[in-house]
Amino acid sequence: MTPVRELAAERGRIPLAELLAEGVPTLMRGIAADWPLARSRSAGDAAAHLKRFDAGVPVAGYTGEPGIGGRFFYDQGMTGLNFRAERATLSDYLDRIAAAVPQPDGPSFYLGSTDLDTVLPGLKAECDLGLGPDDFDGPVTVSAWIGNRTVAATHYDQSNNLACCLVGHRRFTLFPPDAVADLYPGPLEPTPGGQVVAMADPRAPDRARFPGIDRALDRAQVAELAPGDLLFFPALWWHQVEALDAFNVMVNWWWNPGSAGMDSPMTTLLHGLLSLRDRPDAEKRAWRAMFDYYLFGPADRPAAHLSEHIRGDLGALDERRRRQLRARVMQRLNR
């Protein structure tokens, strides 16, 4: 494993376009060091600050027994999950986390992907990276991640990520998308947090069961975040996230440039299980060439030799044409 590269940057001068073009995880130290949460002197101070913004909206809190060691995953039989979910207000859940601070071997508490606009209105104004809609070039979701000593098992997200550590310390272990086979992805559902997780645990790899894990670890990158540090990593990079202290808060920004109106590629993958996976190898190779031509090469290539009036779905897709294409897909699926 190697350290994630570091880049000197400051709020309002984050080179987002360059980071996206390079596609490499990048750590920017101290960008948010002067934000109120990053300056909290204790877990109690941080919890009290968050409570100031609590809208009273129920949130989904996750609790794991001490035996899971903080790692939110499957149960022993892989038939369920090793934690329970319950609804509570943010303030109630913060009180539970605070009560467990003196218990290093106590239960694990985790609030994941908590929407700031809905649950903590007003906090986003304190979390200003100096980036606007034009910088993100698409819809952006801002969320909080709160808990004690927890481990989010290795997974990927479909969006680009800016993750800002504000309270406590976090360790990210990142793997490039093409390391997927050596991470041994688990079931498509159920999943511990909505995304497929790797079965191999980078902290304690079972090499007999997952012999390719060392290839993945050789390509892994590690980022150690202190309060105020900001980590960028691109969509579809696998990552394990360890919250290392008795009370931890992170805020992140998720976005995909130019993605408004697009369907999820996961829908395509799921349909591929129905339509492609079990075909003969020679036929799959032929379809791979088709997909490379129509989908994975330059977006304008399939229509470049066609007059504009006959390009149809091969041309630029506006909202009307997206609806028409989606309707045709649904019609085919329902035959």
C-alpha to C-alpha distance for 198 and 125, rounded to whole angstroms: 35
Three state DSSP letters for 122-162: CHHHHCCCCCCHHHHCCCEEEEEEEECCEEEEEECCCCEEE
Work out the angle at residue 61's Cα, subtended by the Cα atoms of residues 143 and 113, and round it to the nearest 5 degrees: 15
Phi, psi of 296 (to 5 degrees): -100, -5
Tell me what pLDDT residue 241 has: 98
Tell me what pLDDT residue 256 has: 92
Three state DSSP letters for 208-256: CCCCCHHHHHHHCEEEEECCCCEEEECCCCEEEEEECCCCEEEEEEEEC
What's the sign of the alpha-carbon dihedral 28, 33, 35, 41? positive
Tell me what pLDDT residue 104 has: 80
Tell me what pLDDT residue 236 has: 97
Tell me what pLDDT residue 182 has: 97
In which residue ranges of the chain is pLDDT below 50? none
Is residue 250 within 8 A of residue 120, CB to CB? The reply is no
Domain coordinates in residue numbering, the chain: 2-255, 265-333
Tell me what pLDDT residue 155 has: 97
Tell me what pLDDT residue 164 has: 98
Asked whether the whole model's pTM tops 0.85, one would answer yes
**Bridge partners of 249?**
146, 167
Is residue 92 within 8 A of residue 60, CB to CB? The reply is no
Whole-number Cα distances in Å, 191 to 69, 76, 196? 18, 14, 6
Is residue 13 within 8 A of residue 130, CB to CB? The reply is yes
Angle between helical axes of 43-51 and 90-99 (0-180°, round to 10): 170
Which residues make Cβ contacts (< 8 Å) with residue 226, sequence separation at least 6?
29, 165, 169
> Residue 190 is which amino acid?
P
pLDDT in tens, 97-146: 988 888 888 899 999 999 999 999 999 999 999 998 889 988 899 999 99
**Bridge partners of 81?**
74
pLDDT in tens, 212-244: 999 999 999 999 999 999 999 999 999 999 999
Tell me what pLDDT residue 159 has: 95
> Residue 252 is which amino acid?
N
As assigned by CATH, the class of the 2-255 domain is: mainly beta
C-alpha to C-alpha distance for 248 and 167, rounded to whole angstroms: 5
Which residues make Cβ contacts (< 8 Å) with residue 322, sequence separation at least 6?
261
Tell me what pLDDT residue 64 has: 95
